[in-house]
Amino acid sequence: MTTLATAPATPDAGFRHTLHAEWIKLRSLRSTWYTLACLVVVGLGITVLSMSSAGELYASASAAEQQAWDPTNLSLRSYLVAQLIIGVFGILIVTSEYATGLIQPTLAATPRRYRLLTAKLVVTTGIAVVAGQALMFAAFLIGQTMLAAQGVPNAALGDPGVLSAVAGGGLYLAAIALLATGLGTLIRATAGALATLVGIIFLVPALSRIFPFWLQWLIDLWPSVGGAAVLTTVPDPDYPHPWVNLGGMCLGIAFVLVAAFLTFRRRDV
């Protein structure tokens, strides 16, 4: 009697299985859908509220302010809150397993930790890119429709710099989600990771004016300052190359993710 030898699974097949398992796990969590629904509802709600008074804002603006009017950036202001919500989504991808204790069976099923964390980051990126782009394009279309109804200058996707600003907003939100996942991996607690993310997004930019001049380059690359410059169509003398700023932001996030990989691989659960 002969037995058939089973071919060992290839590394690619193993990663596909891990990726599929992470996708199933994520879509089965109610917190995933609650967070994404909150992202859309709150983001578009802020767009509607902020654009409702755009006509009055334009009418009361000075000639210089009217010349610098940026209807694209005005309709994308919801990113200020959306980055925090999508950050919560990125954090929960990791910390929810630590909170429920599911991280132990997950690591038992996938002992190669770099593969597990890579799968989480791929799933995070995919969902964040789709959700971020959907929100930015929807916010832009709603905002420009409301501007046109109020009789103030508005923009179209075919205008110079508009498409790159809208698409850049979605990429910016995806980068924030990756940063949040890295922080969640390093800190392992939702509250701690969220507090750190709030400090990075809001606190440091608010205190940027007290930094010495030789640290201003760091502020230019800070996630919620330099990277967010990509959402504008009117040139800013402080950020003449916004995509370079976004690239610098992504480079900083890459360092956070490298630290997350090293920490996740070496420490006990």
Q: What is the pLDDT of residues 59-92, one digit of tens each?
A: 888 888 888 889 999 999 999 999 999 999 999 9
What is the pLDDT, as a whole number, of residue 46? 94
Q: Nearest Cα to 71, choosing from 201, 160, 176, 131? A: 160
pTM of the complete model: 0.89
Positions of the chain with pLDDT lower than 50, given as ranges: 1-9
What is the pLDDT, as a whole number, of residue 139? 96
What is the pLDDT, as a whole number, of residue 10? 54
What is the pLDDT, as a whole number, of residue 69? 87
**Dihedral sign, CA of 248, 253, 256, 262?**
negative
SS3 content of the chain, % helix, strand, coil (to 5): 75, 0, 25
Q: Nearest Cα to 99, choosing from 18, 33, 29? A: 29
What is the pLDDT, as a whole number, of residue 2? 43
Query: Which DSSP category does 236 fall into?
Result: B
Q: Side chain identity at 95, as an amino acid letter?
A: T
What is the pLDDT, as a whole number, of residue 117? 94
Gyration radius (Cα) of the chain, Å = 21
Q: What is the pLDDT of residues 9-47, one digit of tens each?
A: 455 558 888 999 899 988 888 888 999 999 999 999 999
Q: Is residue 239 helix, strand or coil?
A: strand
Give the Cβ contact number of residue 137 at 10 Å.
Answer: 17
